[in-house]
Amino acid sequence: MALTDWMAATRNLALPIFCKLCDRRLLTEDNGFFCPECWERSPRIERPFCSMCGRPHRGAAGFGFQTNFPCAECRAKKSPAVRRVFGAASYDGAIAEAIKLFKFHDKPRLARPLAALMEEFAAREVDCPSYALLVPVPLHPVRERERGFNQSRLLAQAIQQCFPNAQLDESLRRIRPTRVQSRLTGERERRSNIAGAFAVMGDDLNGKTVLLIDDVVTTGGTVEECAKALLRAKAGAVDVMAVALAGYASG
C-alpha cells in the first residue's frame, strides 16, 4: 500500500466519513461523500434521448431503440438559440445531492466526480473535436465572491482534456445580478429573472462552435439566454453540456 493510501486509511480510522444518503461508512476517499452503491444507482441518461433537449424518450424505453431523435416538444420550437443539450445524468439521487453540496455548501472537490460523469457521457455521445470553445455559464461577480468559485468553470476546466480543439473562454459575463433560479417556482418568473442578464465582452466569436457548460439544466431558460448572447457575438452554433437534467420523471 502506498504512503498516501496509509495516510488516508489512518485518517479514516480517526475521522470516519459516511455516505450522505445511506449513512454507510466510506472506506475510500475517491468520492468522499457517497458510497459506490448510491452513486451508481443514480440514473444516467442513456439512449434513446431527444437529440435537441437531451431528455430520454420515456415512451421508447424497453423497445430496443438506439437512435436519438427530437421529441415532440422540441420539434414544435421555432429557432431555439441552443442547438442541442447534453446531460450525463438525471437530477436525482446521489448526483442531485452532490450538485447541491457542490454549489451551496462549499464542496468544490465534488467537481471531479461530477466531471467524470460528463466525460463518460462525452466519450459515448459527443463529437468532442467539433467544438472550438468551452464556455462556462457565468455567475455574477458578487455571487461568485460569496460562493468562492464558479461551479461551471470548475466543471469546464475538469473536462477540457476531452475536447482536443477547444479553448476555455470566459468572455460570457453575467451583467446584472439575478435571483437563484432554483428558488423560483414558475417558468415565467424564471425566464423574467434572467432575461438580458448575459453579454459577451471583447471580440466576436468568429463563427466558432461553442459548448456551454453548466451543472444542471431545468427549464433551459438560463442556457437559452446565454446562447442568445453568444449568438449575438457571432458564435456559429451553441450546444450545452450539463452534469444533470431536471424536470422530468426518471423512473
Mean per-residue pLDDT, 148-175: 97
- Which domain does 154 fall in, by range? 48-245
Residues 115 and 29 in one domain: no
Residues 60 and 29 in one domain: no
Instruction: Determine how many CB atoms are found less than 10 A away from the CB of residue 115.
Output: 22
Residues 114 and 37 in one domain: no
In a domain, 37, yes or no: yes
Reply yes or no on whether the pLDDT at 60 is more than 70: no
Residues 20 and 144 in one domain: no
Whether the predicted model's global pTM rises above the 0.75 cut: yes
Mean per-residue pLDDT, 106-120: 97
DSSP 162-173: G-TT-EE---EE
Does 194 or 115 have the greater pLDDT score? 115
In a domain, 101, yes or no: yes
Reply yes or no on whether the pLDDT at 63 is more than 60: no
Q: How far apart are CA 214 and CA 195, in angstroms?
A: 17
In a domain, 250, yes or no: no
Band (pLDDT 50/70/90 cuts) for residue 249 is very low
Which of these ranges, 117-131, 164-178, 180-194, has the smallest mean pLDDT?
180-194
Residues 137 and 97 in one domain: yes
Residues 80 and 30 in one domain: no
DSSP 7-28: HHHHHHHHS-EE-TTT-PEE--
Find the CATH number of the domain harbouring 231. Answer: 3.40.50
pLDDT of residue 189: 76
- 236, with CB counted inside 10 A (0-12, 13-18, 19+), is middle
Residues 231 and 171 in one domain: yes
Residues 26 and 114 in one domain: no
pLDDT digits over 189-245, tens only?
Answer: 777 788 889 999 998 999 999 999 999 999 899 999 999 999 999 999 999 999 999
Residues 62 and 33 in one domain: no
Residues 22 and 86 in one domain: no
Domain count within the chain: 2
Reply yes or no on whether the pLDDT at 149 is more than 80: yes
Band (pLDDT 50/70/90 cuts) for residue 188 is confident
Q: Going by C-beta distance under 8 Å and a sequence separation of 6 or more, which residues neighbour residue 249?
A: 58
Query: For 84, how many CA atoms within 13 A lie in the half-sphere containing its CB?
Result: 15
pLDDT of residue 167: 98
Q: How far apart are CA 55 and CA 247, in angstroms?
A: 9
pLDDT of residue 190: 72
Distances in Å between the Cα of 50 and the Cα atoms of 56, 68, 74, 103 are 6, 6, 8, 27
In a domain, 19, yes or no: yes
Reply yes or no on whether the pLDDT at 157 is more than 60: yes
- Residue 223 and residue 217 in contact, taking contact as beta carbons nearer than 8 Å: yes
The percentage of residues in the chain with a pLDDT greater than 90, rounded to a whole number, is: 74
Q: Going by C-beta distance under 8 Å and a sequence separation of 6 or more, which residues neighbour residue 232?
A: 199, 200
User: What 3-state DSSP class applies to 158?
Assistant: helix
Band (pLDDT 50/70/90 cuts) for residue 8 is low
- Residue 120 and residue 70 in contact, taking contact as beta carbons nearer than 8 Å: no
Q: How far apart are CA 169 and CA 160, in angstroms?
A: 11
Residues 26 and 147 in one domain: no
The percentage of residues in the chain with a pLDDT greater than 70, rounded to a whole number, is: 86
Mean per-residue pLDDT, 109-126: 97
